[in-house]
Amino acid sequence: MVSWGTAFKKAIMYIVFLIIWGIIGGVIIGVGFAVGGISVQPGPFGVPIPTIANPLVSVAFIIVGYVIVILGMMATFFKILAEITAEEVERRLKTSSS
């Protein structure tokens, strides 16, 4: 059985990677907003309403950024889970052979 120390170390590593994937996806989403541009349209009673000038490009970047975040999170989870499993199997094989 995996020790609590190992489990918590892997959980911390998972959180660090989630933050990294969140930053990467956030930058891409931010680029989407920057590339899409913001224009100001006159609204009712003369109140300006900000709108996205190029919504298709903006939405494309936002979707790509979101997909990168989700896939990165899932891939990190599967990778860490596989590492824990492989380490545990290796440890048990060494223990049983000695």
**How many domains is the chain partitioned into structurally?**
1
Q: Which domain holds residue 32?
A: 4-97
Least reliable range by pLDDT among 68-72, 82-86, 94-98: 94-98
Whole-structure pTM value: 0.80
Contact 14, 77 (CB under 8 A): yes
- pLDDT higher than threshold 80 for residue 98: no
Gap between the Cα atoms of 61 and 22, Å rounded: 14
Strands, E assignment, the chain: 38-42, 48-52
Q: Which two tokens stand for residue 13?
A: 């590593």
How many residues does the structure list for the chain?
Answer: 98
The neighbour count for residue 36, using CB atoms within 10 Å, is 20
CA 61 to chain centre: 14
